[in-house]
A = this chain, B = another copy of it.
C-alpha cells in the first residue's frame, strides 16, 4: 500500500518552487534551511518516486549528479540556461518522428532518446 507523508509533499512542493533543474542534495539543503527535518535519503526516495510517476524529469549533469525538475506528464524535452538553470519545456513532435525514422534507417527498433538543449537565456545574456 502507498502512504502519503508530509515528507513526500514537501519534496514535491520544493521541486515545484525551483525555477529550473535542481539536484537532490540542493533540495535537501533548501528544505533543511526552511526548518524541515527531512532526511537526505528520503529526498532521494521521493524524487525517484516522482520521476517514476512522471511528475518529474531527470537528467544527468556533466558533473555526474542527477538533476530533477517538476514537469507535465506528456513526453517532452528541455531548453536549459547554463547560467541560471531556467528550463523551458519543448514539445518536439518533429523530433520524435525524426528520431524514429533515423533508428529505422539503421535497422534499429527505436526505444528511447535523450535530447537536451543548452544555451544562455535572454536575461543572462545581458
Contacts and interface: CB of A to CB of B under 8 A. Distances in A.
B115 A109 contact: no
Interface stretch (A14-22, A31-39, A42-50, A87-95): A87-95
B117 A102 contact: yes
A108 interface: yes
A121 interface: yes
A74 interface: no
Given A113-B116, A115-B115, A120-B109, A94 B103 contact: no
Interface of A: 60, 62, 64, 66, 79, 81-82, 88, 90, 92, 94-95, 98-99, 102-103, 106-122, 125
A119 B115 contact: no
Given A95-B95, A106-B79, A114 B111 contact: no
